[in-house]
């Protein structure tokens, strides 16, 4: 995992300008010397909870976990406390299980205090007193960094009771997951945190009203929360000006993986094109390889083609091209790789990670895998492609309990659209009885 060697500074790279060249974590002393916790102190001293929410609404900060919901609006849905003993929870979704995505890992491993500060400001805004970081269990180094950072913050009286001699109390706890992709869905995450089977919950009621242990709960992604301190420090107008002729604001952790010369993740402004990222940051495709297709934001997004590389990397532009920005970490598929094999591999993952709660997902995804395995071995039947297209419809939006199935069929439906000949090659040519 690499970070770009372009000079990073506070004016253009609010998330990564503090990173060390040796890639070691930025601990408390160094973090505070680089304006660390100044955003939190400013929040407590100069703003009320309501004013901070309005500030984030004006910043147009969108969730960086994939859905892109406006953060300030999400905070505004949390009911105000009627009495001081009321409980509100803030959950950090750090269960980064999307194949091909590793942006949150970098931020947690190397910049743990930035996430903690972001959670502290967010908690003050929504009046939460307890926060949990739901961390992917395999992220051992990230867990170590976060635990040390929490201890350092407690030693400096930045966590606990009466923080900075105010009435604000806040504690952060780390919960490591057991390795289930479905926990990226916020209500499944809440169920898992409660010790239950990680099935998504029926909505409404939404977590903002009835969340963790029945209390109002806000769930935000690691990268989302990491943006908060810089907005408090530098102001809304500065944040709005960071993007590159885009309707979306700020910067985004973006990257490329696959057969590229320099796979990695970089903090870049919204509005930069995918071609710029691929050629100027990932240094293009490997020798003797060309780009066949790419997924803009992880395994659960529709494939796009080389002709789409000049589209801006933001939520609206990628959606207009027929895909989703998702996590912003792109996967490059090269010309020597079978698209059927790629899709079969992805669908195996999604089938395995289904919670099994609803029929379309539980039975439909394994059926898709079975058909793709046959086509991959050139043993497909003439009806198989029609069945796959029908399954894409049956597992589409609104047909299943949560968004797992609709996300799972995105790579399949786009592969069938752009590369029908590769699927047809796997069909048995004789007439079936």
**pLDDT score, position 356:** 87
Quick one: residue 122, left, alpha or beta (phi over 0 = left, psi -120 to 50 = alpha)? alpha
- β-bridge partners, 285: 260
432 inside domain: no
Residue with tokens 């299980």: 97
Neighbours of 409 (CB within 10 A): 30
Average pLDDT of the segment spanning 201-209: 93
**Nearest Cα to 418, choosing from 327, 321, 317, 298?**
321
Contact (Cβ atoms closer than 8 angstroms) between residue 161 and residue 169: yes
Average pLDDT of the segment spanning 167-175: 96
Q: How many structural domains are present in the chain?
A: 3
**pLDDT score, position 6:** 41
Residue 220 maps to which CATH number?
A: 3.40.50.11540
Q: Beta 130-135 vs 217-221: how paired, if at all? A: unpaired
Same domain, 118 and 236: yes
412 inside domain: yes
80-95, pLDDT tens digit by residue? 988 888 999 999 999 9
**pLDDT score, position 68:** 87
pLDDT band at 7 (very low <50, low <70, confident <90, very high): very low
Same domain, 60 and 207: yes
Cα 184 to chain centroid distance, Å, stands at 9
Quick one: residue 199, left, alpha or beta (phi over 0 = left, psi -120 to 50 = alpha)? beta
**pLDDT score, position 237:** 95
Same domain, 344 and 413: yes
pLDDT band at 430 (very low <50, low <70, confident <90, very high): low
Same domain, 270 and 394: no
Domain final position from 221, 240, 259: 240
Task: Write phi, then psi, for 14 (nearest 5 degrees).
Answer: -60, -25
**Nearest Cα to 413, choosing from 335, 357, 347?**
347
Same domain, 305 and 405: no
- β-bridge partners, 130: 89, 171
Contact (Cβ atoms closer than 8 angstroms) between residue 268 and residue 254: yes
d(CA 90, CA 5): 34
Residue 377 maps to which CATH number?
A: 1.20.1440.230
Weakest-pLDDT range from 44-53, 176-185, 347-356, 415-424: 176-185
346-391, pLDDT tens digit by residue? 999 999 999 888 998 999 999 999 999 999 999 999 999 999 999 9
Same domain, 83 and 65: yes
**pLDDT score, position 8:** 59
302-319, pLDDT tens digit by residue? 999 999 999 999 999 999
Q: Could you tell me the end-to-end alpha-carbon distance of the chain, in angstroms, rounded to an integer?
A: 52
163 inside domain: yes
**pLDDT score, position 334:** 96
Same domain, 320 and 380: no
Give the structural domain span for 362.
Answer: 339-424
pTM of this prediction? 0.93
Average pLDDT of the segment spanning 268-280: 96
Helix, strand and coil percent figures for the chain, each rounded to 5: 45, 15, 45
Domain final position from 313, 334, 355: 334
pLDDT band at 267 (very low <50, low <70, confident <90, very high): very high
**pLDDT score, position 3:** 45
Same domain, 356 and 393: yes
Domain final position from 186, 212, 240: 240
138 pLDDT higher than 60: yes
pLDDT band at 48 (very low <50, low <70, confident <90, very high): very high
Residue 309 maps to which CATH number?
A: 3.10.20.600
**pLDDT score, position 5:** 41
Same domain, 264 and 344: no
Burial of 222 (0-12, 13-18, 19+ CB in 10 A): buried
Residues 6+ apart with CB under 8 A from 426: 340, 374, 375, 376, 377, 378, 379, 380
**pLDDT score, position 179:** 79
pLDDT band at 411 (very low <50, low <70, confident <90, very high): very high
- Percentage of the chain beyond pLDDT 90 is 86
Same domain, 328 and 344: no
Same domain, 153 and 290: no
d(CA 221, CA 219): 7
In three-state secondary structure terms, 361 is helix
Residue with tokens 């309501």: 50
Burial of 17 (0-12, 13-18, 19+ CB in 10 A): middle
Question: Hey, CA dihedral for 339, 340, 343, 348, is it positive or negative?
Answer: negative
Q: Report the chain's mean pLDDT, rounded to a whole number.
A: 93
Cα 371 to chain centroid distance, Å, stands at 30
**pLDDT score, position 2:** 47
20 inside domain: no
d(CA 208, CA 6): 40
Same domain, 290 and 345: no
Average pLDDT of the segment spanning 224-230: 97
Average pLDDT of the segment spanning 116-135: 97
**pLDDT score, position 9:** 77
């Amino acid at each position: 995992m690499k970070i770009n060697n372009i000079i990073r500074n506070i004016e253009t790279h609010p998330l990564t300008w503090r990173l060390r060249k040796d890639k070691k974590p930025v601990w408390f002393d160094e973090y505070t010397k680089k304006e660390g916790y100044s955003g939190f102190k400013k929040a407590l001293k100069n703003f009320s909870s309501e004013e901070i929410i309005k500030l984030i609404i004006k910043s147009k900060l969108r969730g960086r976990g994939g859905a892109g919901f406006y953060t300030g609006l999400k905070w505004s849905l949390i009911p105000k406390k009627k009495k001081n003993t009321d409980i509100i929870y803030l959950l950090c979704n750090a269960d980064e299980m999307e194949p091909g995505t590793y942006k949150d890992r970098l931020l947690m491993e190397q910049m743990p205090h930035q996430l903690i500060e972001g959670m502290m400001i967010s908690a003050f805004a929504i009046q939460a007193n307890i926060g949990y970081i739901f961390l992917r269990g395999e992220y051992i180094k990230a867990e170590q960094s976060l635990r040390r950072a929490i201890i350092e913050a407690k030693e400096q009286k930045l966590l606990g009771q009466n923080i900075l001699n105010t009435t604000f109390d806040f504690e952060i706890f780390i919960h490591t997951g057991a390795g289930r992709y479905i926990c990226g869905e916020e209500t499944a995450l809440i169920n898992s945190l409660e010790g239950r089977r990680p099935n998504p919950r029926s909505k409404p009621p939404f977590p903002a009203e009835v969340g963790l242990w029945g209390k109002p709960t806000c769930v935000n992604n690691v990268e989302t929360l990491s943006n908060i301190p810089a907005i408090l420090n530098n102001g809304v107008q500065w944040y709005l000006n960071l993007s590159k002729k885009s309707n979306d604001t700020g910067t985004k952790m973006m990257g490329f993986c696959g057969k590229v010369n320099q796979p990695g993740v970089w903090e870049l402004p919204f509005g930069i094109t995918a071609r710029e990222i691929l050629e100027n940051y990932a240094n293009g495709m490997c020798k003797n390889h060309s780009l066949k297709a790419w997924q803009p934001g992880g395994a659960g997004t529709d494939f796009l083609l080389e002709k789409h590389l000049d589209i801006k990397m933001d939520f609206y532009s990628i959606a207009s091209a027929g895909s989703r920005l998702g996590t912003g970490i792109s996967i490059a598929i090269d010309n020597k790789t079978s698209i059927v094999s790629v899709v079969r591999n992805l669908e195996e993952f999604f089938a395995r990670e289904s919670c099994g709660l609803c029929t379309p997902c539980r039975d439909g995804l394994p059926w898709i895998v079975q058909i793709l395995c046959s086509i991959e071995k050139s043993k497909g039947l003439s009806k198989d492609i029609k069945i796959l297209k029908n399954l894409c419809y049956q597992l589409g939006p609104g047909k299943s309990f949560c968004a797992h199935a609709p996300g799972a069929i995105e790579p399949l439906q786009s592969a069938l659209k752009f590369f029908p000949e590769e699927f047809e090659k796997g069909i048995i040519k004789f007439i079936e009885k």
